[in-house]
Chains A and B, each alone.
Chain A
Amino acid sequence: MKRYIDFVEGIGTWTGKAFAWCILIMTLAITYEVFVSKVFRDPTEWAFDISYIMYGTLFMMAGAYTLSRDGHVRGDVVYRLWKPKTQAAVELVLYFLFFFPGILALMFAGLEYALESWGYTEKSIFSPLGVPIYPFKTIIPVAGTLLFFQGTAEVLRCVICLRTGAWPPRRRDIEEMESILRQQREDENQGAREHGGPVEEPKP
């Protein structure tokens, strides 16, 4: 079971991280566009299309990666007070009620939508260059599929937690600044306490 979770999360994480670099392409492409259009008055024909294609791709493809990091917002006022087992039991039910139906709809409806676009090799209407749009629309079913498999991994996490009473640890990854700093702080305090020294200089 752990191997399946690792495998699925590995794929989701790798894909999310790979497409994350779209932000750099987007930054450089738009900066270039601003430069040539304002300085040489010679705007590019592709910059507008690139900007929303990169933006749409990066956030859609990162849906599963974000889920595997527990990064989607949840109102956890009540949730956080529960024991891990209760959390897992509730979440397990909710995955079947509120996750899979929507994501399956997104996968299959998205597939139909993308196939239709492939059917007439749809081009962007925003530029004379005619940037192809059908690969971009294909992102919808692909992102849906990634989310679906990440969802199965999350369900298995719930099962493990129900059996052992503790959430299986998430893989190590880059954290927000505040979590890193808080962690460092806690480690320092821990270390100081273990060595018997004062945790912090006494208040003056």
Chain B
Amino acid sequence: MTDPQVAIFMLGIFIFTILLGFPICFTLIAMGVGFGFYAYYQPEQIFFDNRIFDLLVNQTYSVMANDVLTAVPLFLFMGYIVERANIVDRLFYTLQIAARHLPGSMAVAAMATCALFATATGIVGAVVTLMGLLAFPAMLKARYDTSFSAGVICAGGCLGILIPPSIMLIVYAATAGISVVRLYAGALLPGLMLAGLYMVYVVGRAMLNPKLAPPPDKEATDIPWTTVVVMMLTSFFPLAVLILCVLGAILFGWATPSEAAAVGAFGGLVLAAAYRALTWNRLKEAVYLTVRTSAMVCWLFVGSWTFASVFSYLGGHALIEEFVLGMNMSPLMFLIVAQAIIFLLGWPLEWSEIIIIFVPIFLPMLKFFGVDPLFFGILVALNLQTSFLTPPMAMAPYYLKGVAPPHVELMQIFKGCMPFLSMVLLAMVLLYNFPALTEWLPTLLYGK
């Protein structure tokens, strides 16, 4: 076998092993070391002088000392603190009252709560389950359609991984070697656009078919506006201000993403204390969960960087590149094929594996098709919204099913998610046709 063939063989075994369900980061490390030993083998060398061992520790150390990834545990910590700050019920109740004159007011409130809370925490599971316990029964009680309500909560809960400051975008920036700040600026408008499209869909459906979302009772809407303002000031604004400060500081260059994340985590602690939710136990929980999730993401990087450097040393990237370029695709075709593959990968895999392991295969090809890695990243981020909503590994519907009343069927939840999937698709088409949506803000803030 020639070296590039060995590389493809290596990728093949790796994909097979993923299916066997072994923890992926260790598979990557072991295969990187094994194939690397073969790749760097020189007969006159003694065992330990093989260059793969240097490569392994160097890649490990470069993950440990990576100044982009430092923001990951900080944002996770902020998320876990905010998640435990008793904030969702207040937020949902307030927004429900604030939106009471809109059609489908509860769905609008649920969507807005999901979007805001998801943006602050960035943890899909927590948003969907908390809202599934709080908003979902309330909506069913108000005779909202089951599928419609379920779709709102699942789709809204996933927005957190797209709208900055999101952890997924940091991970993509570290993988693609582009600036987190520019990526955040680029993702802001598309993220808000998708949230807007969801909102338009919710209000539109509720207007066209009021049976899906009956209006609230008369006495429930009769609340003086001063009360509403006070409620907004105590529940909606503190969280919104926290997010805006973190994001603003990053976008206007006042602070690096890690600095903003640290201040955000500190702000989260203050917020939790203000809501009297900062107990010793909750702090402990947030700290331990942060470390576990960080270890999960960062060990994946250790494995992936080792694996990828051996894969490309053997000429695997070059072979794939040659193959793809040999197909003479137009840039549009390439984008469609790449996104379709990522969409399909989203069925069995989660976003972390897709971004850290599979997206790097596409990255070197972007320059041949004249695709900006930033633009590509935002398409991927939009696309991965679907990976949470499509079976068989649809995390969001499963989370919701886990806490929903027993009579709610999984199929009803999937059915409710479908219209939102088409909104994601629409957003991707819009983004392709109007690249200004991603380019305008980064260019305005930082120039070309």
Contact = CB atoms under 8 A, between A and B. Distances in A.
Interface stretch (B53-61, B102-110, B173-181, B427-435): B53-61
A174 B284 contact: yes
A58 B299 contact: no
A80 B290 CA distance: 26
Interface string A45-76: 00010011001101110110111010111111
B70 interface: yes
Contacts of A177: 83-84, 123, 125-126, 129-130
B448 interface: no
Interface residues of B, number: 87
Contacts of B366: none
Contact of B130 (A60, A79, A181): A181
Interface stretch (A2-10, A29-37, A159-167): A29-37
Contacts of B294: 23, 55, 58-59, 62
Contacts of B295: 16, 58-60, 62-63, 65-66, 71-72
B290 A20 contact: yes
Chain B contact residues: helix, strand, loop or mixed: helix
Contact of B128 (A26, A99, A178, A203): A178
B364 interface: no
Contacts of A17: 288, 291
Given A55-B70, A181-B403, A34 B263 contact: yes
B57 to A, nearest CB: 4
A136 B84 CA distance: 32
B77 A66 contact: no
A56 B65 contact: yes
A129 interface: no
Interface of B: 17-27, 29-34, 48, 52-54, 56-57, 60-61, 63-67, 69-70, 72-74, 77, 83-84, 123, 125-126, 128-130, 132-133, 140-141, 143, 254-255, 258-259, 262-263, 265-266, 269, 284-285, 287-300, 348-350, 352-353, 392-393, 399, 402-403, 405-407
With a 10 A CB-CB cut-off, give which of B83, B263, B349 has the most chain A CB atoms: B263
Contact of A74 (B23, B63, B399): B23
A101 interface: yes
A140 to B, nearest CB: 6
A71 B299 CA distance: 11
Contacts of B262: 26-27, 29-31, 34, 51
A121 interface: no
Given A62-B292, A71-B292, A98-B27, A90 B20 contact: yes
Given A102-B26, A106-B29, A137-B61, A58 B73 contact: yes
A109 B255 contact: no
With a 10 A CB-CB cut-off, give which of A26, A48, A139 has the most chain B CB atoms: A26
A178 B249 CA distance: 31
Nearest to B19: A78
A78 to B, nearest CB: 5
Q: Which 4 A-B pairs have the closest CB atoms?
A: A79-B21, A56-B64, A102-B30, A30-B262
A17 B57 CA distance: 24
B20 A101 contact: no
A6 to B, nearest CB: 19
Given A55-B69, A59-B295, A65-B295, A178 B129 contact: yes
Contacts of A127: none
Interface string A84-101: 000100110010011111
Given A110-B57, A174-B289, A76 B70 contact: no
Contacts of A149: none
Given A75-B349, A98-B27, A139-B64, A174 B288 contact: yes
Contacts of A79: 20-21
A182 interface: yes
A72 B402 contact: no
Given A58-B73, A59-B299, A94-B22, 18 more contacts: A20-B287, A23-B73, A23-B265, A23-B294, A27-B74, A27-B266, A51-B258, A60-B298, A73-B296, A94-B20, A98-B27, A102-B34, A105-B29, A108-B53, A173-B288, A178-B126, A178-B402, A199-B406
Contacts of A55: 64, 69-70, 72-73, 294
A117 B292 CA distance: 28
Contacts of B52: 105
A140 B57 contact: yes
A139 B130 CA distance: 37
A63 B299 contact: yes
A197 interface: no
Contacts of B266: 27-28, 31
A77 B133 contact: no
A152 to B, nearest CB: 14
A19 B125 contact: no
Contacts of A80: 21
A77 B291 contact: no
Interface string A134-145: 001101100000
Contacts of B48: 108, 112
Nearest to B126: A177
A24 interface: yes
Given A21-B287, A101-B33, A109-B57, A77 B19 contact: yes
A176 B399 CA distance: 12
